[in-house]
């Protein structure tokens, strides 16, 4: 069971410790949005209420652990901002609805699920960067970590750009692998349950 209040207070405290100009406004936005109640995906990982906040904290914690283990020197502020906000684009992105599947007898059955409602279809990492910078200014490293956190799972045409960016900003690799590890090793996929 996810303890949403502990996750919420931990995230807020980590962001407050970042001392970035206008961070208070960004935190207010997170609190007023569905960041702390939304799933992280429709079906791939942490597809449960509060999954987005839980996933973001998992990613942040993995980045912090790797930063220390490999002595990478990524500032704590960057660890917190990139890790906790990399999926900012998923705020107010999911809704609930019905889908249809055939059961083993070939009969169509409806089921409740999460659906996407992308009102600003500009990409994933790019969208997070754009949305975050409406509140706070990001460093170049933070922009690159957030933009490329999906690694080479982005569209094929972006692979060359990904490797180019990763060679200039090795922190991208830590961000991407932490995101992947959190979604695949620390989090589980659950059947949708309507509240």
Are 112 and 194 in contact, with CB atoms under 8 Å apart?
A: yes
Distance CA 103, CA 55 (A): 31
What domains, with CATH codes, occur in the chain?
A: 4-92+124-186 (1.10.3210)
Print pLDDT tens along the chain (195 aa).
Answer: 569 999 999 999 999 999 999 999 999 999 999 999 999 888 778 888 899 999 999 999 999 999 999 999 999 999 999 999 999 999 998 888 898 988 899 999 998 888 888 777 777 889 999 999 999 999 999 999 999 887 766 664 466 677 777 888 889 888 888 988 888 888 876 776 776
Distance CA 43, CA 65 (A): 27
Distance CA 52, CA 56 (A): 6
As beta bridge partners, residue 114 has 96
């Amino acid at each position: 069971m996810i303890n949403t209040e502990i996750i919420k207070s931990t995230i807020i405290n980590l962001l407050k410790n970042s001392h970035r100009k206008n961070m208070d406004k960004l935190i207010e936005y997170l609190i007023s949005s569905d960041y702390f109640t939304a799933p992280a995906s429709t079906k791939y990982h942490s597809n449960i209420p509060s999954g987005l906040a839980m996933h973001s904290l998992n990613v942040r914690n993995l980045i912090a652990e790797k930063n220390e283990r490999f002595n990478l020197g990524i500032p704590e502020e960057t660890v917190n901002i990139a890790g906790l906000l990399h999926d900012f684009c998923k705020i107010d992105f999911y809704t609930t609805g019905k889908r249809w599947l055939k059961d083993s007898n070939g009969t169509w059955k409806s089921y409740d699920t999460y659906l996407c409602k992308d009102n600003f279809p500009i990409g994933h990492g790019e969208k997070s960067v754009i949305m975050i910078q409406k509140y706070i200014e990001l460093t170049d490293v933070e922009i690159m970590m957030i933009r490329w956190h999906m690694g080479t799972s982005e569209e094929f045409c972006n692979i060359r750009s990904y490797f180019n960016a990763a060679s200039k900003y090795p922190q991208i690799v830590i961000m991407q692998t932490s995101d992947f590890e959190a979604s695949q090793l620390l989090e589980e996929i659950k059947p949708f349950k309507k509240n």
